[in-house]
Amino acid sequence: MAGWRRAVELAMSNEEITQLAAVSRSRTERASRVERAQMLLAYHENPSFFTVARRLGAHHQTVQRCIERAMAYGPLAALDDRPRPGKEPTITPEAKAWLVSLACDKAKDHGYPHELWTTRLLARHAREHGPAAGHDCLVNLVQGTVCKIFGKEEIKPYKVRYYLERRDAEFEQKMAEVLCVYREVQVLKKAAKSKKPSKPVAIVSYDEKPGIQALATTAPDLPPKPGLHATFARDHEYKRHGTLSLLAGIDLLTGRVHALVRDRHRSREFIEFLKLLDAAYPASTAIKLVLDNHSAHISRETRAWLATRPVGRFEFTFTPKHGSWLNLVEGFFSKFARSVLRHIRVASRHELKERIMAGIQDINRHPVIHTWSYKLAEAA
């Protein structure tokens, strides 16, 4: 007659218990690992195969095998299946290396209209061309096997991860110049708090936001109805009325926004914005602008107009190429797009212009002083 199953003592450290608890609550781990972690924790609280099985809805022998694996190999190792001999692999390491090498090329380089491989296309290519390359084992290759090989090699040739190439050889130097301007802003703010006299300076972060679409609805929006519709309802169709460009600069000392809305953003519009700044500040104030390398900022027309102004009235500090993130006004544009321009619908470009300028006026009623702190201490 078989004897009763006796509970065995499962010793676990606090660190192992913590890791098992994290796995048992995970929503990304495999279901088998989560279930086994729950078994080990439940058995640690109440060492009974039957009680744990009843609690977790499993068979008591399943719980017993899990505990025995934990006793033999450790609690964390028991979460995974023990290695089994299995079937001998039919795809050779050389064939896998050939497949991975193939995946590192673009599909278009092998005569396909696709830009990148899909796993299905790559499997088909390997079936058709693998034997000719000396890999007969790929003659029956299927898409799932390709996915498994890529998963082990940690390669995803069907995806694109974007990066920003640094094309400015003087990037560090130009970045330091911009940061020096921001450090000057910091010094001027401290001087203003201490009421120390200083040379009148205005520092403006400037950029353009082109292509703001004037879209009109073709049917009226439907308002929310409590208990029925939680959101506004809008017809999918819309009508285009063209686009506008927002030319804006933030005074980094006061938070005031200077802005123009025009159809385009050429040299003449940029000069118009400079005239706006020229009229906004006293003649004795030096106006320093942080701006990007747009052609309108350095054009012959712009330089000719600047030559008519007193020496020292305007001073430009250019961000490096692909360094627009260094310009504080970009944060303002992002906030403006997520508030005033979000889901906006207008009947004409004129209405869009009026609403943009109304949004600027609303911001200037409660100006926010933008600050920059990243790597400021490292500025030369």
What does DSSP assign to residue 298?
Answer: S
Which phi and psi angles does 291 have, rounded to 5°?
-150, 170
User: Once rounded to an integer, what is the mean pLDDT over residues 211-216?
Assistant: 95
168-207 per-position pLDDT tens digit: 888 889 998 999 999 999 888 888 777 776 778 999 999 9
Name 203's Cβ contacts closer than 8 Å, sequence gap at least 6. Answer: 181, 184, 185, 188, 251, 252, 253, 288, 289, 290
359-376 per-position pLDDT tens digit: 999 999 999 888 887 776
6-53 per-position pLDDT tens digit: 667 888 999 999 999 999 999 999 999 999 999 999 999 999 999 999
81-117 per-position pLDDT tens digit: 887 777 788 899 999 999 999 999 999 999 999 999 9
Nearest to 207 by CA among 168, 246, 179, 177: 246
Q: What is the pLDDT of residue 89?
A: 80
Cα separation, 101 vs 103, in Å, equals 5
- Spell out a b/e string for 77-95, using b for 16 or more CB atoms within 10 Å of the CB, else e: ebbeeeeeeeeeeebeeeb
294-332 per-position pLDDT tens digit: 999 999 999 999 999 999 999 999 999 988 889 999 999
* 378 Cα distance to chain centroid: 26
